[in-house]
Structure 1
């Protein structure tokens, strides 16, 4: 507990630099990465992250020391150049964009490793720690780094703030943006520049190898929780900042644990939780929704079978055994018994000594299912010219998802028919 209060008191300047630096890096890169993610350019971040290495090395060779401003300029130059080359290759050759990204990534990273090796063997004492750019070391952040990162983070956030509508339109409908006269190419160039800047300021915390994760993963996690882009951008920033803070804290209480990789581990954990737990888009929600749909289909098929038995005998409230129901439609016995009990709980069926019968509500629901089935069969034969003996299976599926609004439109479109293509009566309420 003492270490917790000691860490969050920020009394130690080193802690202050690491925490503030990590927050700036992760939050700002997540904001820009949201638009990169929406434009389906996730691999671009990886390409830029690996392409900045030769720029950093070249800056060090020319300047002779690890000045953060100089290194940032060098990283920005080669990162930006890599994106331009990817665009040129994919636009003016038969090479696809993903292949161009892989080509540029490997070439630039190879050149960077080559230059880094030369620097390490040069004997220049100032090169100590330069190799940390590969995997990052947030603990090495100092005051000068923080000033540079704060300036760039402010540029990123303010740029997104001022061009939010343009970036949004570009992400979702580039053709429409061009049609209404927006300078699409200039906006793309600005977004590219911001992406490069986001990568450049993040490499010191998480390194070139892991930076792509910090650019894309917060946005991917946020996307599961909302359909609104402004909310998504805010959530991505919060997730990124939380991972930065948590990674720094873990590194503080366990000095052998590097900050950068733990930042990525935390944001990846958030992404996995979002992937499974998010409402409406999460795996568990979708699985539960699919289970409810299967249950609904099974229950409506039971009611439909009972209604059809009632049609044959002109008695809809006759008590039926499970064996009688199975003669009308094939069910899995366990699913049938479970469905019957569920329909009884919901007030659609009654049970007396193992014999099942409609309640008024159950008869109404079963009648509507039969009606929708037969209306759809008639629609397929009249408007799509499908043979009557080929429409049953399709109608057997669509009857469960037709809304009351579509039901009314079908009735009007077909002029309130009385029989289906097989001359069976279409029951109206």
Structure 2
């Protein structure tokens, strides 16, 4: 705690530059990255990040100096050119976009490495430090860099705020955006330019190799926590800002640890955490939901089996043993016993020395499931022309998820039937 307080109240200007610069870079990149992810162009960020290297090298080769503004301008031009080339290849050839991205990434990056190697053997004394564009060096940030980061961050955030509705529309429904007269091509070009700008500014901190992670990872992590774009943007920016500050803190407490890779590492950990533990959409939540659904299906299948056994004897209060239930329908023994105990606690079945029997409430629930099954079988035969002896399996799956609204719709379509395709009576609503 004392170390963290020391970090927060530090007087070293360079450490403050690194911390604030990392926060601004991470947050602004995440905001733009949300739209890149939603437009399914995540790999484009990686291509741009690798394509800026030849621009940096060319700018240095032409001027012979490491002027920050000129280097950024050179990297912006080649980054933007890479996107133009990707679009041109995709539009004018049979090559798909993912292949075009791979081609552009490898070619531009290879040319950049070639230029960098040439510069390193040129003897120019000013070339020292150019290799940091490969892997980044956040610790080398100075006050002028912070001003640049601040200007770019404000520009990116202001653009997103002013054109939020337009960017949202082209991210989800380009066709509708064109229909209502939005300049879709211009908006896509602007969003692409903002993406390039975010990448160009960030390479000095984390390098071309890791910059795509800064753009994509927080957006991908935030997507697990919400279905609303505005909330997703805020979560992604907050995650990135936190990881930016945390990465700077790690470098401050352990000088041998680089800031940029630690920012990406922390973002990756957050992404893994989100993938596994996010509510509703996380892996754990989905597994729990699947388990809940399987158990519910098992209980409904048990009720349906008891109903069918009673229907055959016209006696729904009769008791049946585990063997009789399993003879009527093959059910896993352990899961069936577990399901029967749950149904007993719910008051849907009773247990006697002769076996298990439906209660009045259980009969109503079983009758509902059987009714949905037979309605769906009839729908498949009448509207989809499926043979009556091939509809049972489909009905077995769908009967557990049909809602009351769909049930009423089925009845209307089928004109309130009384028999299924096998001439078996369809139970009426309990």
Shift in Å, 1:374: 1.2
SS in 2 for 1:304: helix
Cα distance in 2 for residues equivalent to 1:354 and 1:74 = 85
SS in 2 for 1:357: strand
Shift in Å, 1:249: 0.8
Cα distance in 2 for residues equivalent to 1:108 and 1:34 = 25
- Structure 2 vs 1, CA of residues 411 and 94 (structure 1 numbering), >3 Å: closer, same or farther? closer
Alignment of structure 1 residues 41-120 onto 2, 5 Å: 41-120=41-120
SS in 1 for 2:356: strand
**2:298 aligned with 1:298, yes or no?**
yes
Instruction: Using the TM superposition, name which of 115-124 and 156-165 deviates more.
Output: 115-124
Cα distance in 2 for residues equivalent to 1:157 and 1:390 = 57
Structure 2 residue aligned with 1:416: 416
Cα distance in 2 for residues equivalent to 1:223 and 1:233 = 9
Is the 2:319–2:354 contact (alpha carbons within 8 Å) kept by the matching residues of 1? no
Which 4+ runs in 1 deviate beyond 3 A? none
Cα distance in 2 for residues equivalent to 1:323 and 1:103 = 64
SS in 2 for 1:351: strand
Cα distance in 1 for residues equivalent to 2:359 and 2:383 = 36
Alignment of structure 1 residues 382-393 onto 2, 5 Å: 382-393=382-393
Cα distance in 1 for residues equivalent to 2:60 and 2:224 = 41
Shift in Å, 1:353: 3.4
**2:138 aligned with 1:145, yes or no?**
no
1:68-119 per-residue CA deviation (whole Å, 9 max, x = no partner) reads 2221111111111111111111111222222221121112111211221222
Cα distance in 2 for residues equivalent to 1:354 and 1:87 = 73
Is the 2:47–2:101 contact (alpha carbons within 8 Å) kept by the matching residues of 1? yes
Cα distance in 1 for residues equivalent to 2:117 and 2:416 = 81
Shift in Å, 1:382: 2.1
**2:407 aligned with 1:407, yes or no?**
yes
Q: Structure 1 length as normaliser, TM-score?
A: 0.97
Shift in Å, 1:355: 1.6
Shift in Å, 1:13: 0.4
Cα distance in 1 for residues equivalent to 2:127 and 2:354 = 85
Cα distance in 2 for residues equivalent to 1:36 and 1:280 = 23
Shift in Å, 1:213: 0.6
Structure 1 residue aligned with 2:263: 263
Is the 1:68–1:148 contact (alpha carbons within 8 Å) kept by the matching residues of 2? no
Cα distance in 1 for residues equivalent to 2:411 and 2:104 = 60
Is the 1:69–1:148 contact (alpha carbons within 8 Å) kept by the matching residues of 2? no
SS in 1 for 2:135: coil
Instruction: Using the TM superposition, name which of 365-374 and 378-387 deviates more.
Output: 378-387
**2:371 aligned with 1:378, yes or no?**
no
Instruction: Using the TM superposition, name which of 149-158 and 64-73 deviates more.
Output: 64-73
Shift in Å, 1:383: 2.1
Structure 2 residue aligned with 1:427: 427
Structure 2 residues not aligned, in runs of 5+:
none
Is the 2:36–2:42 contact (alpha carbons within 8 Å) kept by the matching residues of 1? yes
Structure 1 residues not aligned, in runs of 5+:
none
Is the 1:68–1:144 contact (alpha carbons within 8 Å) kept by the matching residues of 2? no
Cα distance in 2 for residues equivalent to 1:139 and 1:245 = 13
Shift in Å, 1:9: 1.2
Is the 1:303–1:366 contact (alpha carbons within 8 Å) kept by the matching residues of 2? yes
Aligned length: 429
Structure 1 residue aligned with 2:360: 360
SS in 2 for 1:134: helix
1:205-240 per-residue CA deviation (whole Å, 9 max, x = no partner) reads 110000011111110001111111111111111111
Cα distance in 1 for residues equivalent to 2:412 and 2:3 = 72
Shift in Å, 1:277: 0.8
Cα distance in 2 for residues equivalent to 1:261 and 1:275 = 21
Shift in Å, 1:388: 1.7
Is the 1:307–1:366 contact (alpha carbons within 8 Å) kept by the matching residues of 2? yes
Shift in Å, 1:354: 6.5
Instruction: Using the TM superposition, name which of 240-249 and 418-427 deviates more.
Output: 418-427
Cα distance in 2 for residues equivalent to 1:115 and 1:426 = 78
Structure 2 residue aligned with 1:174: 174
Cα distance in 2 for residues equivalent to 1:383 and 1:124 = 78
Is the 2:247–2:262 contact (alpha carbons within 8 Å) kept by the matching residues of 1? yes
Structure 2 residue aligned with 1:333: 333
1:289-340 per-residue CA deviation (whole Å, 9 max, x = no partner) reads 1111111111111000101111112211112111111121111111111111
